[in-house]
Amino acid sequence: MIGDMRTRADRKAQLQMGETVFVVFIIIIIIVLGLVFYSKVREVQLKEMQRAQRISNFISLAHTLSSWPELECSVKETRDFDCIDLIKLGILGDFINQSKETDSYAFNYYQDFLRRSDIVVREIYPSPQSWTIYRNPGNRKTRDAVSLPVNIYDPISKKYAFGVLELAVYE
């Protein structure tokens, strides 16, 4: 009888051990799942921060370009908003492209400022035509683009044409 009771106690102990092992195993699984979930959430948060930073740079560049001294219209030192000077436009585009070909300091200056981006000014009305001011897409895949309406002012004929400034930033 004593032997029978001891066997039963042993079996009970075994069961309790099994139960403890099972509980520990489940807790480990829960901890691992929690870590995986946390790392995924953190990854999403970091990507979101990266995206916010990219958008901030993009907005800052778009904002700077809309009043860029190299392109803006000015009559007697008075600035005109959302306006691009037709003569400056032609000269700046040629200058940057030539600097890129010769790999001179000027291109490095603009590269430092404009980084990996494309800037194109497109006249829509009355005579459709376009000017590529800067092209440096690199090999990045992510691209943010915006088209901002601008006037293209011809200081000789003193006429305003309607166009868009197309900005694409690669990250």
Partner 1 sequence: MNEPNDSDGTNEPAGPVKRERAKTRNLSRKAQLEMIGIIVIVIIVVTVLMIYLIYKLNNPVNDVRTVYINGEIATNLLITLTKTNIAECHDIALSELITDCAKEYHSITCFGKSSCEMVNASLHELVSMTLVDWNVRFRLFVEGADIEILNDFCDAKANKIRGFTVLPLNPGQSEITLDICN
Pick the piece of the chain touching partner 1 (CB under 8 A) from 90-98, 100-108, 129-137, 141-149. Answer: 141-149
Pick the piece of the chain touching partner 1 (CB under 8 A) from 103-111, 112-120, 121-129, 130-138. Answer: 121-129
Q: Is there binding between residue 156 and partner 1 (CB under 8 A)?
A: no
Q: Is there binding between residue 3 and partner 1 (CB under 8 A)?
A: no
User: Is the sign of the CA dihedral 116, 117, 118, 119 positive or negative?
Assistant: negative
Q: What is the nearest approach in angstroms of partner 1 to the Cβ of residue 55?
A: 5
Pick the piece of the chain touching partner 1 (CB under 8 A) from 89-97, 106-114, 122-130, 132-140. Answer: 122-130
Q: Is there binding between residue 8 and partner 1 (CB under 8 A)?
A: yes
Q: Is there binding between residue 160 and partner 1 (CB under 8 A)?
A: yes
Name which of 52 and 91 has its Cβ closer to partner 1.
52
Residues making contact with partner 1 (CB under 8 A): 1, 8, 52, 55, 58-59, 62, 66, 81-83, 124-126, 144, 146-151, 159-162, 164
